Amino acid sequence: QTVVTQEPSVSVSPGGTVTLTCGLSSGSVSTSHYPSWYQQTPGQAPRTLIYSTNTRSSGVPDRFSGSILGNKAALTITGAQAGDESDYYCVLFVGGGVDWVFGGGTKLTVL
């Protein structure tokens, strides 16, 4: 069974830079997994931030960027703001057909 790993919690200072990662329990994440990232605040549906590794969704500030770092997908937030405090989920496309696996999410604290 495929497991996607994320840091459970990360903190960053206002104005700072933080990188969240998304890994696979076995193997490396590549662009072929089409990593995408979603931001979720309490009580709200997820919001699409990044897709296909590094493409920002419409309206997403360029403070958010995606990449592959080593064997993981990464979401980097530069100039962190209080409003960035959210849960962040990555999801990987892993199937030969259609098969998605979400990571467990990272709770980002800005303090």
User: Contact between 24 and other proteins (CB under 8 A)?
Assistant: no
Q: How far is CA 3 from CA 20, 49, 68, 71, in A?
A: 17, 21, 18, 14
Which CB atom, from 45 or from 111, has the smaller least distance to other proteins?
Answer: 45
Q: What does residue 32 show for φ and ψ, rounded to 5 degrees?
A: -70, -15
CB of 51 to other proteins, least distance (A): 4
CB of 16 to other proteins, least distance (A): 25
Tell me the two tokens of residue 87: 């849960």
| Furthest C-alpha separation in the chain | 42
Tell me the two tokens of residue 58: 């419409």
Residue from the set 12, 20, 22, 91 that interacts with other proteins by CB under 8 A = 91
Distance CA 2, CA 57 (A): 26
Alpha-carbon radius of gyration of the chain: 13
Residue from the set 16, 41, 104, 109 that interacts with other proteins by CB under 8 A = 104
Residue from the set 38, 65, 77, 110 that interacts with other proteins by CB under 8 A = 38
Residue from the set 1, 26, 59, 83 that interacts with other proteins by CB under 8 A = 1
Contacts to other proteins from residues 50-89, by CB under 8 A: 51-52, 57, 89
User: Contact between 26 and other proteins (CB under 8 A)?
Assistant: no
